[in-house]
Amino acid sequence: MLTLKRLVAGVVVLCGLLQLDAGAAEPEGGEAAPTYLIEAIHIRGNSKTKDSVIIKALQVSAGERLSVDDIRFELSRFRVLSLGYFSEVRMRLEKGSRRGQVILVVHVSERGTIILTEVFFGSSEATSAWGGLGVAERNFLGYGINVDGAFVLGADPEVQSGAVQQAYRLRVSTRQLGSGALSVNAGFLYLEGSEFFRQSGTESSSDPDDFYSLRYRRVGGTLGVGFDIARFTRMYVEYRGERIDSNVPVTATETGAPIDFGIRDGTSVLSTIMLGLERDTRSDPVLPQRGGLLSVSALFSTGVVGSTYDFVKLSASYEHFFPVSWGHIIALQSAGGMLFGQAPFFEKFFIGDFNDLVPSRVLGLNFSTLPSRDIFGTSIDSKRYEEIALRLGVEYIIPWFRGGKYAYGGDFFFNVGLIALTSRDELRVRDRSLAESIPVDMTIDAGLRLDTFIGIFRFSIGNFLGRIPF
């Protein structure tokens, strides 16, 4: 019945947001599978994680009567893996104290919980060097509490009015609070930025002399809660409040038009409420071989909650992993969003966050003046922070190994995609068709992902090419 069980699991994954009833699978021949009463659940292999954390993640419980091929056993394994505390989860049934009763044994292999979450380093024409580190305790005292911090520092940029950039972040979260499925999170951010805005030169130029630097400071925090609304589907509500300080100069481009810095002069307040939904059916949270991850969010900023800015930001992403018969994996990916209203520039969609060939932001800071390559000649090299963004891609994954003692797994990957970045005004005022008016570029990347006991590492050609101006 292993094949039938996997087939049913695949149907559950492909149904996206639809929640399926977890009935028992029916064996060949149309005969009902025998059912057993789960007398108890035993957890083995966990020296750091409390039993209660694992039991709460299961989709079955003691006292239930289930068939041996019930889909909830496989779903429970996925759910425990998704906690991120274990490199392997195995489940089996043992005889109970009476006929018709069984004991469910969940055997886990714990992974390192103190890990490097991020390693920042790089250089660009604008910033000679930047670097930083992120460290997390993902299972504090075995209760499933995540504590992580990160920082990044950048050298004084070679841009007019530029200054040293730095950012510090601290977050605390728990997947399950008490005996329920409620999660809570809180965070703090301190950031001193020096964002680059073009004032001269061609759109394809990354020469720091063609840019002006806006100095600003952000200090604030977040507080949020999450809760299950369906199997593998969670909803989040988060409040964020920040104080923003900047000294916006009156300066212009070489054409005489003033630079739109996208931020209020002096002191302003950013106050937002975010509603998010996530459905995760991946077989593994780090190196998945099947399943999908859907994320949808809506961010609201209004004077009603004390914000200086009024805008709505909608974002969504989805990726799905399909194993193929020769052992490799194909992943289809999509991400994008749209912004309405007047938002500070750092809330807009940034080209480096969508194009692997352009350095992305680090803890909210941008260290590079490199534009998108504009391979198709659609003027996307003039786009940096915009209201509309879209990325469509496909990734080919070659599993390398699984089950090492210090390196739990590794995959080679090749990714290619299309990105688009534009504004609503540009789409409304145009002298060409809509399709011809959308700035589009190609992004490409290849490399190796490693899941190790000290963290997840990605060695990427795109990271290297993103530092080379051409």
Mean pLDDT per 10-residue section of the chain, whose length is 470 residues: 39 36 41 80 88 84 85 83 82 89 90 84 90 90 86 94 95 72 91 94 90 95 92 92 92 74 94 96 89 97 96 98 96 97 96 93 94 91 94 97 87 97 84 76 95 88 64
Asked if residue 427 and residue 358 are part of one domain, the reply reads yes
Q: Residue 467: its pLDDT value, please?
A: 57
Inter-residue contact 237 to 225 (CB < 8 Å): yes
Give pLDDT, residue 100: 87
Instruction: Write the DSSP symbol of residue 252.
Output: B
Question: Is 8 inside any structural domain?
Answer: yes
* pLDDT at 54 (0 to 100): 87
The verdict on pTM exceeding 0.85 is no
Residue 343: alpha-carbon gap to chain centroid: 22
At residue 431, φ and ψ (nearest 5 deg) are: -115, 15
| Whole-number pLDDT of residue 7 | 38
Count: domains in the chain: 2
- Whether 187 and 97 share a structural domain: no
470, part of any domain: no
The residue ranges of DSSP E strands in 127-265, in sequence order, are: 130-140, 145-154, 165-174, 183-198, 211-230, 233-246
* CA atoms lying within 13 Å on the CB side of residue 396: 5
CA distance from start to end of the chain: 56
**Distance between CA atoms of residues 84 and 264, nearest Å:** 41
pLDDT for res 22: 35
Same domain, 58 and 184: no
Cβ atoms of 80 and 44 within 8 Å: the answer is no
We report the CATH number of the domain holding residue 443 as 2.40.160.50
**Are 139 and 96 contained in the same domain?**
no
Indicate which CATH number applies to the domain containing 17: 3.10.20.310
SS3 readout for 327-394: CCEEEEEEEEEEEEEECCHHHCEEHHHCCCCCCCCECCECCCCCCCCCCCCCCHHHCCEECEEEEEEE
CA–CA separation, 312 and 218 (whole Å): 20
The residue out of 52, 83, 110 marking a domain boundary is 110
| pLDDT value of residue 434 | 65
Pairing of strands 310-323, 101-110: unpaired
Question: 296: which 2 tokens?
Answer: 């949808």
Statement to judge: residues 343 and 430 lie in one domain: yes
- pLDDT number for residue 257: 79
- Are 270 and 203 in the same domain? yes
Asked if residue 189 and residue 79 are part of one domain, the reply reads: no
Same domain, 202 and 99: no
168 shares a domain with 93: no
Give the domain-ending residue among 59, 94, 110: 110
Looking at residue 21, what is its pLDDT?
34
Closest CA to 138 of 458, 459, 456: 456
Q: Please say whether the beta carbons of 231 and 22 come within 8 A.
A: yes
Residues 91, 202 share a domain = no
3-state secondary structure of 147: strand
Domain that holds residue 371: 114-465
7 and 93 in a single domain? The answer is yes
Q: Are residues 105 and 225 in the same domain?
A: no
- Of the three residues 110, 145, 169, the one that is the final residue of a domain is 110
DSSP label at residue 78: H
